[in-house]
Chains A and B, each alone.
Chain A
């Protein structure tokens, strides 16, 4: 057994346990420093823990399978870097936010690390059993993180809703895994890939697969499994929401990539119209419902649904270009959303409400925060030269050519462009409130401590880096999706000839 493949996971687990233990000896007033230590540890792991991938390696072989349940390949390394980077920024956010917790400051850091651990395993899952274990670790940890401010009713509500709906989604998924195992006699991704020709005609297998995809759609908040997102986003503490929006969603997407393009590409090719419909509905639902929102966190919840829809475009394209677009878009989404939530964390520390009108006067109180928030809104809306623009460009590019052969893709393109136009309205509503919102009472400047400064700098640099020099990340994301094997749908072949 090659344990060195799991170096990153082992280090993160040890770090999480260490933070939990260190709490025993550290007096209450110094516990925030544990967060700095955890962020420093994660930074160290980020820079030294990941080796370059020379070839795909496996670990932990189950009986009857030819490959292991844990895979270490270019795709998993890309996502491990993604999750670690998100983990570092979220940890800095948590430190900045921690004075709002009455209790359990170091446990919050530790639980964040364990959620990160689940995401790292999800990036390497090559077996439905490991996938389920990793997803459960993420879900259960987020139930606790979401209800962390238990003196606020909204936070408890968020936790309870996430618990019940998450448990339902897990139940659906585990039922689906049972059906998949029953019809394929294995849970290993590679074995199912080899047998997919026989399995494609088996309705039991298809039903199981659909249920597994339903469970993953809950994670990424895609229609029709999206209803939880706005309530949970609004009620949870800001760092937990940020990690939920970036990490948990990306974990769902890496598993969707693996299952749809790596395990059952032939079936995915037959289901491409289903993916087109889901992507279009998700974009429309998220964009339209975001219009009347007054709470900034709730707005981000709907925005995250709409973004899940844009990411699903990459799946609907059923191509490597689409998959690479998903990776790029997620990279831009990471910096943009974390920048937004960093600003939110700081503002929420000073005002209790997250209503958009409470942003009034931010332009004078803190030009830095106002600037970063505006930049992230502009990037989310997809305006060049920021990261969001190029991500949307890559995803839409992957379906433009398909429309010639299959008009459904033109409809999807039209819906996506409509979604972008609608999103301009609500994202610019936030910018308007920041600079031209009237009725500001408190105009005192907002101090920024250094973890917040670091996190803001990293996010803004990332947004510009991805937007101005997209080549660097395209060079990372294109080889990362080489391990996937999407097959073009039959309808696109026939009409092309």
Chain B
């Protein structure tokens, strides 16, 4: 049984990397809609990784919110852009170098973090392991992390009011 989940991990991880690469640097198409579709596939493969980690709720949210709602907004924005103009645009060399530098820096940190992540290397005793069901998640969210949760609810209210104010037609 553990072999099977290990195999699944490599399948999902490989798919995530492959789709992620195709999303940003597709050799066949420079169409933003294709990129967005590959982003959806990346997100879905990532949800598979969450399931393997027993984070079932997070996996469901990943598909519902990110692959569903957020991507629809992305697509709306893409539709509003001038696609032909985007496809014709040349790669900016400075941006490319900066991007490569930033990504390699982050990759170096990640490699370091993964190699350092031995149980003995953890400086502190492990906290209670959160199971991925809704009930323990809800308990953590509404008990110990209640305050940030409430602040974020005010943040959402602010964002809503702001969007209406900034996008409504001429209001009087």
Residues of A within 8 A of B (CB): 13, 16, 20, 28, 59-64, 69-70, 102-104, 107, 110-111, 114, 117-118, 121, 129-130, 132-134, 136-137, 140-141, 143-144, 147-148, 150, 159, 175, 179, 182-186, 191, 195, 198-199, 202-204, 207
Is the Cβ of B162 less than 8 Å from the Cβ of A179?
no
Q: Quick one: which of B116, B117, B151, B162 contacts A133, CB cutoff 8 A?
A: B151
Q: Which residues of B contact A148 (CB under 8 A)?
A: 165
Interface contact B140-A63, CB-CB below 8 Å: yes
Contact among B128, B145, B151, B161 for A137, CB-based, below 8 A? B151
Q: Which of A118, A147, A159, A204 contacts B109 (CB 8 A)?
A: A204
Residues of B within 8 A of A (CB): 106, 109, 112-113, 116-117, 121-128, 140, 144-148, 151-152, 154-155, 157-159, 161-162, 165-166, 168, 171-172
With A61-B144, A204-B113 as contacts: A186 and B158 at CB distance below 8 Å: no
Within 8 Å by CB of A140, from B128, B140, B159, B165, lies B159
Assuming the contacts A60-B147, A129-B148, A191-B124, asked whether A141 and B113 have C-beta atoms less than 8 A apart, the reply is: no
Contacts of B154 in A (CB 8 A): 13, 16, 114, 117, 137
Q: A103-B165, A203-B112 are in contact. Are A195 and B123 (CB under 8 A)?
A: yes
Shortest C-beta distance, A344 to chain B (Å), equals: 23
Given A137-B151, A204-B116, check contact A185 B145 (CB 8 Å).
Answer: no
Given A133-B152, A186-B124, decide whether A107 and B161 contact each other with a Cβ distance below 8 A.
yes
Bound-state Cα–Cα, A141 to B157, Å: 10
Q: Is the CB of B166 within 8 A of A64?
A: no
A sample of 30 inter-chain contacts (CB < 8 A) reads A13-B154, A60-B146, A61-B144, A63-B140, A63-B144, A64-B124, A64-B125, A69-B148, A103-B172, A107-B161, A107-B165, A111-B158, A111-B162, A114-B154, A114-B157, A117-B151, A121-B151, A129-B148, A136-B152, A140-B162, A141-B158, A144-B162, A184-B123, A185-B124, A185-B127, A191-B124, A195-B123, A199-B123, A202-B116, A203-B116
Given contacts A63-B128, A195-B123, contact A140 B109 (CB under 8 A): no
| B contact residues around A16 at 8 Å (CB) | 154
List the A residue with the shortest CB-CB distance to B108: A207
The residue on A at minimum CB distance from B147 is A60
* A144:B161 contact, CB within 8 angstroms: yes
Report whether B123 and A185 are in contact in the complex, using a CB–CB cutoff of 8 Å: yes
Would you call A64 and B151 a contact (CB within 8 A)?
no
B152 shortest CB reach to chain A, Å: 6
Contact assessment for A184 and B124 in the assembled complex, using a CB-CB cutoff below 8 Å: yes
**How many Å lie between the Cα of A336 and that of B147 in the bound state?**
34
Report how far A327 CA is from B126 CA in the complex, Å.
Answer: 37
A416 to B123 alpha-carbon distance, docked (Å): 40
Q: Which residues of chain A are near B140, meaning CB under 8 Å? A: 63
Which A residues are CB-close (under 8 A) to B117? 182
Write out the residue numbers on chain A whose beta carbons fall within 8 Å of the beta carbon of B121: 202
Nearest-CB residue, chain B, relative to A175 = B106
Cβ–Cβ contact B144 & A103, under 8 A: no
Q: How far is the CB of B111 from chain A (nearest CB, A)?
A: 10
Contact across chains for B166 and A144 when beta carbons are under 8 A apart: yes
Which chain B residue shows the least CB distance to A208?
B109
B30, chain A: closest CB distance, angstroms: 23
Taking the closest CB of chain A, its distance from the CB of B165, in whole angstroms, is 5
For A204, what are the chain B residues with a Cβ–Cβ distance below 8 Å?
109, 112-113, 116
In the assembled complex, how far is the CB of residue A289 from the closest CB belonging to chain B, in whole angstroms? 22
How far, in angstroms, from A203 to B113 measured CA to CA in the complex?
8
Asked if B166 and A147 sit within 8 Å, CB to CB, the answer is yes
Shortest CB-to-CB span from B114 to chain A, Å, is 9
User: Closest residue of chain A to B126, judged by CB?
Assistant: A185
CB distance from A440 to the nearest CB of B (A): 36
Report how far A160 CA is from B162 CA in the complex, Å: 13
A144 near B165 (CB under 8 angstroms)?
yes
Q: Told that A144-B162, A195-B124 touch, could you supply 16 new A-B pairs with CB distance under 8 A?
A: A60-B146, A103-B172, A107-B165, A111-B162, A114-B157, A117-B154, A130-B148, A133-B151, A140-B158, A144-B159, A179-B113, A183-B113, A185-B122, A191-B124, A202-B121, A204-B109
A110 to B157, CA, bound (A): 11
In the complex, which residues of chain A have a beta carbon less than 8 angstroms from the beta carbon of B106? 175
> Given the complex of chains A and B, what is the CA–CA distance between A129 and B145 in angstroms?
9
The CA-CA distance from A150 to B145 in the complex, in Å, is 36
Chain A residues, CB < 8 A from B152: 133, 136-137
> Do the beta carbons of A70 and B147 come within 8 Å of each other?
yes
Which of B116, B125, B128, B147 has a CB less than 8 Å from the CB of A69? B147
Chain A residues whose CB sits within 8 angstroms of the CB of B116 once the complex forms: 183, 202-204
Residues in chain B near residue A20, CB distance under 8 A: 161
